[in-house]
Chain A
Amino acid sequence: MRKSIEEDDNLREALRYSAAMLGELRTSLLSPQKYYELYMMVFDQLVNLEAFFSEERNKGRSFSELYELVQHAGNVLPRLYLMVAVGCLYIRSKEAKAKEILKDLVELCKGVQHPTRGLFLRSYLCQRSKGLLPDTGSPYEGNGGGDIHDAVDFLLSNFIEMNKLWVRMQHQGNARDKEKREQERQQLQDLVGKNLTYLSQLDGLDYELYAGMVLPRVIEQVVSCKDGIAQQYLMQCIIQGFPDAFHLGTLDVLLGALPELQPEVKVHAIMSSLMDRLAKYAESDAAVMQRLLEMKAFEKFRDSIGRVLNAQTDMAAADKVEMFVALMNFTGSVLPNIVDNVNQVLAAAHAALATGLSGDIKAEKQLVALLTIPLTKYDVVTGLGLTEYPILMGLLRHRTHKELASKIIHAIVDSGTRIHSVEKVAMLFRFISPLIKDVEGGPRVDDMDEEDIEEEQVLVARLIHSLFHEDPVIHHAILSLAKSELMHGGARRVRHTLPALGFCALQIVRRISSASKASPSLRNNAECEAGFGAASPDINAETTETDAEAVNIEVKAVDAEAEADVTAAAANASELTAGALLQWVLELCNVLAEVPREPMMALRMLLAAGLAASEEARVELLAYQFFEEAFTLYEEGISDQRNRVTALHSIIGTLNRCYIFGSENRDALTQNAAAYSSRLLKRSDQCHSVCECSHLSWQDDSTEVPGVAVRDSARVMSCLKRALKIANSAKQQVTVAARAGDCSYITLYIEILEHYLFYFDRSVENFTASVLQPVIDMVQSEVMLSLTKAGDSEARRLWSKTLEYIHQLKVKATGDKVVRYSALQLPSFQQDSKAYL
Chain B
Amino acid sequence: MLILCIGDLHIPHRACDLPQQFKELLKPGKIHSILSTGNLCCKSFIDYLKNLTSDIHLVQGDFDEFTSPESSIVNLGGFKIGISHGHQVVPWGDTDRLGHMQRQMDVDILITGHTHEYKVTTCGSGLQINPGSATGAYSTCRNTVTPSFVLLDLDGSKATVYVYQLVDGKVKVEKVDYVKPT
Interface residues of A (CB under 8 A from B): 413, 454-455, 458-459, 461-462, 464-466, 496, 499-500, 502-503, 506-507, 510, 514, 601, 604, 608, 611-612, 615, 646, 649-650, 652-654, 656-657, 692, 695, 699-700, 747, 751, 754, 757-758, 761, 797-798, 801-802, 804-805, 808
B73-81, B98-106, B146-154: which lies at the interface: B98-106
B55: Cβ under 8 A from any A Cβ: no
Assuming A646-B62, A804-B124, is B12 touching A462 (CB within 8 A)? yes
Interface of chain B residues 6 through 34 with chain A (CB within 8 A): 10-17
CB-defined A-B contacts under 8 Å, sample of 18: A413-B17, A454-B42, A458-B11, A461-B12, A462-B17, A465-B12, A503-B10, A601-B63, A646-B62, A650-B87, A652-B90, A692-B90, A700-B91, A758-B96, A797-B106, A802-B103, A804-B125, A805-B99
Chain A neighbourhood of B92, CB < 8 A = 653, 656-657
Interface of A is mostly: helix
Chain B neighbourhood of A503, CB < 8 A = 10, 13-14, 138
In the complex the two chains form, what is the Cα distance from A808 to B124 in whole Å? 7
Q: A747: nearest residue on chain B (CB-CB)?
A: B104
In the complex the two chains form, what is the Cα distance from A754 to B99 in whole Å? 10
Chain B neighbourhood of A604, CB < 8 A = 62-63
B44: Cβ under 8 A from any A Cβ: yes
In the complex the two chains form, what is the Cα distance from A675 to B90 in whole Å? 18
Further contacts, 5 of them, CB under 8 A, given A758-B96, A798-B103: A462-B11, A496-B65, A506-B138, A514-B143, A649-B88
Binary interface profile of B, 46-83, with partner A (CB < 8 Å = 1, else 0)?
00000000000000001101000000000000000000
CB pair B141 A805 closer than 8 Å: no
Q: A754: nearest residue on chain B (CB-CB)?
A: B100
Q: B88: nearest residue on chain A (CB-CB)?
A: A649
B172: Cβ under 8 A from any A Cβ: no
Q: How many Å from the CB of A670 to the closest CB on chain B?
A: 13
Selected from A650, A699, A808, the residue in CB contact (under 8 A) with B125 is A808
CB pair A695 B91 closer than 8 Å: yes
Chain A neighbourhood of B88, CB < 8 A = 646, 649, 653
Q: How many Å from the CB of A736 to the closest CB on chain B?
A: 27
Give me the 5 closest cross-chain CB pairs, A-B, nearest first: A461-B12, A462-B12, A611-B140, A499-B13, A465-B16
Chain B neighbourhood of A757, CB < 8 A = 96
Chain A neighbourhood of B12, CB < 8 A = 458-459, 461-462, 464-465, 496, 500
B119: Cβ under 8 A from any A Cβ: no
Q: A503: nearest residue on chain B (CB-CB)?
A: B14
CB pair A612 B140 closer than 8 Å: yes
Chain A neighbourhood of B91, CB < 8 A = 653, 656-657, 695, 699-700
Chain B neighbourhood of A805, CB < 8 A = 99, 103, 124
In the complex the two chains form, what is the Cα distance from A652 to B92 in whole Å? 10
In the complex the two chains form, what is the Cα distance from A503 to B89 in whole Å? 23
Selected from A458, A465, A510, A700, the residue in CB contact (under 8 A) with B15 is A465
Assuming A652-B90, A761-B96, is B65 touching A454 (CB within 8 A)? yes
Q: B66: nearest residue on chain A (CB-CB)?
A: A454
Chain B neighbourhood of A804, CB < 8 A = 124-125
Chain B neighbourhood of A496, CB < 8 A = 12, 65
CB pair A458 B44 closer than 8 Å: yes
Q: How many Å from the CB of B169 to the closest CB on chain A?
A: 12
CB pair A500 B63 closer than 8 Å: no
In the complex the two chains form, what is the Cα distance from A751 to B103 in whole Å? 11
In the complex the two chains form, what is the Cα distance from A808 to B123 in whole Å? 10
In the complex the two chains form, what is the Cα distance from A502 to B13 in whole Å? 8
Chain B neighbourhood of A502, CB < 8 A = 13
Chain A neighbourhood of B96, CB < 8 A = 754, 757-758, 761
Binary interface profile of B, 98-127, with partner A (CB < 8 Å = 1, else 0)?
011001101000000000000000001100
B43: Cβ under 8 A from any A Cβ: yes
Chain B neighbourhood of A465, CB < 8 A = 12, 14-16
Selected from A458, A649, A798, the residue in CB contact (under 8 A) with B87 is A649
Selected from A454, A500, A652, A657, the residue in CB contact (under 8 A) with B13 is A500
CB pair A801 B16 closer than 8 Å: no
Q: How many Å from the CB of B86 to the closest CB on chain A?
A: 10
Q: How many Å from the CB of A534 to the closest CB on chain B?
A: 23
In the complex the two chains form, what is the Cα distance from A699 to B94 in whole Å? 11
CB pair B11 A653 closer than 8 Å: no
In the complex the two chains form, what is the Cα distance from A754 to B138 in whole Å? 32
